[in-house]
Amino acid sequence: MKGVILAGGQGTRLDPLTRITNKHLLPVYDRPMVSYAIDSLVRAGITDVMLVTGGTHAGEFLRLLGNGHEWGLDRLLYAYQARPSGIADALSLAERFVQGDRVVVLLADNVFERSIRTSVERFREQEQGARILLAGVEDPAHLRHLGVPRLVDGTVQEILEKPDDPPSAYAVTGVYFYDPSVFEVLPTLRPSGRGELEITDVNNHFVRCGLMEYDVIDGFWGDAGESIDAYYMVNDFVRQFGANK
């Protein structure tokens, strides 16, 4: 199984911290944010990874991460997203790297208290399709800014992006598992109203095909790129409790 870390985007929600650097290079406690995504994959047994980034600070990832060996990776490749055209567009750049294998996609601003190894192992055993990780979120106001699944009898019926009336108390985190057919889905997507190819559309394709599985994570999950407050909340948690345990 291959790993793809997505570390692009403009980081506008963390302005002014991101005026002079990519948000995934900002520190979370005692090391750069992107290193937690790498650590998450390594601890789950995935050491063949591509990092997709963009913008004017892309070269800084190479300076920081090099060939990835220092960070526990066997191989680290890079891809450049010329325009901020969405998560699904960024994933499409990894097709030749994945080479027909299964892939786990991780957004580099997502930080987890617990290891994702169990979900990786479950996806290895899954015959086909996709898998997502859900996190419980108690605040309905927060859910209105996230992707939220509609769950019926233990199956995902639909994923709604930023719903006015959240259909469940769970958020879709930034970890996605796909079989090789995902690269057949990506060319069929159409840009959303904000001009991006949306990962929610990819996930809903697998939902409609009846090929979407999910796990509910244990422990803390934080999106350090969601806002300034979220960024410092993730910092505070990691400083006190650590990550990827």
* Residue 124: how many other CB atoms lie within 10 Å: 11
Distance (Å, whole) CA 171 – CA 173: 6
pLDDT for 194 equals: 86
- Residue 198 predicted with pLDDT over 90: yes
Please report, for the chain, the start and end positions of each structural domain, with discontinuous segments joined by +: 2-241
pLDDT for 193 equals: 86
- Residue 245 predicted with pLDDT over 90: yes
The pTM of the full predicted model, rounded to 2 decimals, is 0.96
pLDDT over 90, % of the chain: 96
Mean model confidence pLDDT for the chain? 97
Sign of CA dihedral 41, 64, 241, 174: negative
Domain with residues 2-241, CATH architecture = Alpha-Beta Complex (3.90)
- Residue 11 predicted with pLDDT over 90: no
- Residue 212 predicted with pLDDT over 90: yes
pLDDT digits (tens, 9 = 90+) for 89-105: 999 999 999 999 999 99
Whether 122 contacts 175, CB under 8 Å:
no
pLDDT for 153 equals: 95
Q: Which residue has the higher pLDDT, 78 or 85?
A: 78
Q: How confident is the model at residue 9 (pLDDT cuts 50, 70, 90)?
A: confident
SS3 134: strand
Helix/strand/coil percentages in the chain, nearest 5: 35, 30, 40
How confident is the model over 145-170, as a mean pLDDT? 97
pLDDT digits (tens, 9 = 90+) for 25-47: 999 999 999 999 999 999 999 99
pLDDT for 162 equals: 95
Distance (Å, whole) CA 50 – CA 101: 13
pLDDT for 84 equals: 87
